A and B are shown apart, each in its own frame.
Chain A
Amino acid sequence: IAGITQAPTSQILAAGRRMTLRCTQDMRHNAMYWYRQDLGLGLRLIHYSNTAGTTGKGEVPDGYSVSRANTDDFPLTLASAVPSQTSVYFCASSDGTSGPNEQFFGPGTRLTVL
């Protein structure tokens, strides 16, 4: 693989179910991020991790949890999904050591909660 991958590509989920969105990068980037993108609201940060073993809350963290056990993986878990979590979810990573440190985005997961 090259870059960032996300799985699944799309998912329809019943309300109340638990769901984990997977994100893996092979660029050895220190920092990783989870965003949700909703029409008219743009990308909003859910959680982030500046390095393996650490995580932080973004703008809209409620109802979501993350873990960062190693450099490559950054799963996002919805413990009990609700319809308002219907969105497109993007994972991103950045080097965070020098220069612009632009974020590279995965292809996204389209989640529908019914």
Chain B
Amino acid sequence: GQNIDQPTEMTATEGAIVQINCTYQTSGFNGLFWYQQHAGEAPTFLSYNVLDGLEEKGRFSSFLSRSKGYSYLLLKELQMKDSASYLCAVRDRDYKLSFGAGTTVTVRA
């Protein structure tokens, strides 16, 4: 099984940078995902890491260290629309995802 930990809440100012950490313990690692979920909506895919290192996608970047069981999602140039929950999820070898409880990010003007 998987044990996934991420902070419950974070607050940041518009235009700033926020880093959301995720640690995991897994019995069979096959990739790590980050999803964004606005209140009352479905999760949407943000990023995927399967090898160590940084993946960059516009204002969002995700990092993975498999040996440390650690990932982070970096949100740059924060905008008000980035206020949402960010879900860290680990995939096993059967292609099933286990999710962390999510980190609620509030962006203040």
Query: A residues near B, CB below 8 A?
Result: 31, 33, 35, 40-45, 48, 50, 56, 58-59, 90, 94, 96, 100-108
Query: B residues near A, CB below 8 A?
Result: 1, 31, 33, 41-45, 48, 50, 87, 89, 94-102
Task: Judge whether B48 and A42 touch: CB under 8 Å.
Answer: no
Docked pose: A45 CA to B48 CA in angstroms:
19
Residue of B33, B96, B98 touching A102 (CB-CB under 8 A)? B33
**A38 → chain B closest CB, angstroms:** 10
Task: Judge whether A90 and B96 touch: CB under 8 Å.
Answer: no
Instruction: Pull 15 A–B residue pairs with CB atoms less than 8 Å apart, ordered by A.
Output: A35-B99, A41-B101, A42-B87, A42-B100, A42-B102, A44-B99, A45-B98, A56-B94, A58-B96, A100-B48, A102-B33, A105-B43, A105-B44, A108-B41, A108-B42
